[in-house]
Amino acid sequence: MNDIDINTKNNDSDSVGDIDSSSSRGWAKLKRNKAALVGGIFLLIYIVCAFGAPVLFWGNPSAPDLINSLSPPCAKYLLGTDELGRSILGRILYGSRVSLMIAVGVVGVGLLFGVPVGLISGYFGGKTDFIIQRFTDMLLAFPGFLLALALVAILGVGLKNTVISIGISMIPIYIRLVRGCVLTVREEVYVEAARASGTKDRHIILRHILPNVLAPIIVQTSLGMGTAILFAAGLGFLGIGVQPPTPEWGSMLGSARAYMMGKPHVATFPGIAIFLAVLSFNLLGDGLRDAFDPRSKI
Amino acid sequence: MINFLLKRLLAIIPVLLGITLLLFFMLRMLPGDPAQVLAGQMASPQDVEMIRTQLGLDQPVYIQYASFLNRLVHLDLGLSARTQNPVIQEIWARLPNTILLSLCAITMACVFGIPAGIIAAVRPYSWVDYLVTIASLFGISMPVFWLGIMLMIVFSMTLQWLPAGGIGTWKHLILPTVTLASFVVAFIARMTRSSMLEVLSQDYVTTARSKGLKENLIIIKHALKNALIPIITVVGLQFGLLLGGAVLTETVFAWPGLGRLIVDSILARDYAVIQGSILIFGLLYTLVNLVVDLIYAFVDPRIRYE
């Protein structure tokens, strides 16, 4: 089974020219994928909301209007107001900035540490690999969300610590993924040739190995952004993530719990926002995987 | 089989050491004096001093770690700064609730997820397949705590069929179980589908078909049996997600479990309890992974002899 995999990989990427043509095949495949298209459109809307929040919503999303507190959706407040009379629409729009910032930050932390360490671990093997892998085992012994919880307990609450905690919990996933891919690519003929001709290790890793493990990294990045949004919203909901008055979707749901009895709208809309944002990354991630990395699962 | 079992048990030791090492250093990474941190903000200087001698904080770090392990073996996790009860007692009181909820959820996820995945794989690109694919994509994208709140609004507050929270009868179990299972059922269905699709295209399935065997028999006896390994892997891995989701689900439904205990302790800065409950979660997860490995060996004899 493994042999077959390596062989097909060989044919795919014997020379640089082949990589280009396989990636353009991938793009063509991605464009035909309707689910990925829907994901892409949702994602675009999400990014427009995040960047355009001040244009789309005039006024301060954290300014209270106590006379209109817990108002159901109406002409003035399209999605109603929360317990302090703040526009839920406004808070969701500004919340999209916060969640996008978290998603980018978290995946950034994961990539920044996970990819180089994974490359080193897979390429050099031996003792380096052994030590890195035991460290990864240690982090993976805790389910991701619980690791993030534990780190929040140490670092404290807030936006920055939310990003760091969730980011660290993602690092082992990237290390494993990259290392696994490097192990197969390392044995390829072109890597051997580069090594035989005396190319420096750093050059081999960056020019020959990294481009060939990019596809799974990109897929994981898209799916990871979805997970980051879910985790951050979970921490916010528990009251140990981003703190009020910053508009954050999870903490909006957390404070809505006390009022949802008679006013279900306060709990409904922030949840839909989280759902659509995560869905867009998952749809896109699935599409990217089908197009560029069809052999892997989940 | 016994050899395999022993090898697998031995492999757990480094993981356990890793878990304890991480938790040991967790407290020492906090700013300030670990004894003060453990005793809590309200503790008297005598209490702090007592914890300091108990933990041996004046000793070198490796001796501190050794005594930490020694205390763990004797199930001594210290005292809760909030309630002054032994941490192990606080955990014991809640652990069965979390295990009950998790087992119900994983059972429900398997009962619905595996058949859904099989049906989708047997009729690829049919409306059933699309339905399963879309439903499972929705499942993995939905925040569990939001789903819990929505179910509560519909079934407890509007229809008044089920209790909104708490613990006691089987009725209390329904909403938290459905909430917690939703995420996992989606993953299991996705994995079952792709695993079955791969197996159904194998030669031995074609052979079985050409022999004129009944389709049901082929799917269950020939295909499912061979598709099981990745499915079991995913069920095991999902258990971790489930434990994470339990923290959120328990909060939504006021379910007195371990997850809720961690959150309350983080909010109250009760570090002894945080350390203890995260340790138990780590142990639980490691144990599940061990059981998964043993099930592998049981399902697929090739693994035993490797």
Burial of B283 from C-beta contacts in 10 A (0-12 / 13-18 / 19+): middle
Record: contact B143-A142, CB cut-off 8 A: no
Among residues B129, B143, B125, which one has the least CA distance to residue A282?
Answer: B143
Record: contact A145-B241, CB cut-off 8 A: yes
Task: Please list, in sequence order, all residues whose beta carbon lies within 8 angstroms of the beta carbon of residue B241, skipping any fewer than 6 positions away.
Answer: A143, A144, A145, B183, B184, B187
* CA closest to A262 among chain B residues: B157
Report the distance separating Cα A253 and Cα A266, nearest Å: 8
ipTM for the complex shown: 0.87
Average pLDDT over residues B34-49: 79
Q: What's the gap in Å between the CA of A141 and the closest CA on chain B?
A: 6
Record: contact A149-B266, CB cut-off 8 A: yes
Ordered domains of chain B (ranges, CATH): 87-299 (1.10.3720.10)
B181 falls in which pLDDT band (50, 70, 90)?
Answer: very high
Residue B305 confidence (pLDDT) above 70:
no
> What is chain A's alpha carbon radius of gyration, rounded to the nearest angstrom?
22
* CA closest to A269 among chain B residues: B146
Record: contact A226-B141, CB cut-off 8 A: yes
Residue A182 token pair: 């490097």
Per-residue pLDDT tens for B140-149? 999 999 999 9
Whether B44 has its CB under 8 Å from any CB of chain A: the answer is: no
| Confidence at residue A134, expressed as pLDDT on a 0 to 100 scale | 86
* CA closest to A35 among chain B residues: B134
Nearest to B157 among A240, A261, A283 (CB): A261
Cα-Cα-Cα-Cα dihedral sign, residues B243, B249, B251, B256: negative
Q: Which residue out of A135, A146, A147 would a mutagenesis test of the B interface target, given it has the greatest number of B Cβ atoms within 10 Å?
A: A146
Per-residue pLDDT tens for A64-118? 777 777 778 877 777 777 777 788 888 999 999 999 999 999 999 999 999 999 9
Record: contact B137-A282, CB cut-off 8 A: yes
Per-residue pLDDT tens for A247-297? 999 999 988 888 877 788 888 899 999 999 999 999 999 888 888 876 665
Residue A20 confidence (pLDDT) above 80:
no
B132 falls in which pLDDT band (50, 70, 90)?
Answer: very high
Whether B189 has its CB under 8 Å from any CB of chain A: the answer is: no
Residue A5 confidence (pLDDT) above 70:
no
- CATH topology assigned to domain A2-11+27-58+78-292: MetI-like fold (1.10.3720)
Record: contact A274-B230, CB cut-off 8 A: no
Residue with tokens 């919203």: A233
| Confidence at residue A69, expressed as pLDDT on a 0 to 100 scale | 73
| Confidence at residue A8, expressed as pLDDT on a 0 to 100 scale | 37
Contact A178, A243 (CB under 8 A): no
Q: What's the gap in Å between the CA of B262 and the closest CA on chain A?
A: 9
| Confidence at residue B306, expressed as pLDDT on a 0 to 100 scale | 52
Cα-Cα-Cα-Cα dihedral sign, residues A207, A209, A212, A213: negative
What backbone torsions phi and psi does residue A186 show, to the nearest 5 degrees?
-55, -30
Residue B252 confidence (pLDDT) above 80:
yes
Per-residue pLDDT tens for B161-173? 888 777 778 888 8
Record: contact A153-B266, CB cut-off 8 A: yes
The 3-state DSSP class for residue A81 equals strand
Average pLDDT over residues B116-120: 91
Return the domain boundaries, chain A: 2-11+27-58+78-292
Q: Which of residues 84-143 of B touch A (CB under 8 A)?
A: 137-138, 140-143
Q: Which residue out of A230, A268, A281 would a mutagenesis test of the B interface target, given it has the greatest number of B Cβ atoms within 10 Å?
A: A230
| Confidence at residue A3, expressed as pLDDT on a 0 to 100 scale | 35
Please, what is the end-to-end C-alpha distance for chain A in angstroms?
Answer: 19
In this structure, of A19-33, A97-111, A211-225, A276-290, the range with the lowest mean pLDDT score is A19-33
| Confidence at residue A45, expressed as pLDDT on a 0 to 100 scale | 93
Record: contact A297-B191, CB cut-off 8 A: yes
* CA closest to B150 among chain A residues: A268
Residue B92 confidence (pLDDT) above 50:
yes
Overall pTM surpassing 0.80 (yes/no): yes
Per-residue pLDDT tens for A131-184? 998 888 888 888 889 999 989 988 889 999 999 999 999 999 999 999 988 988
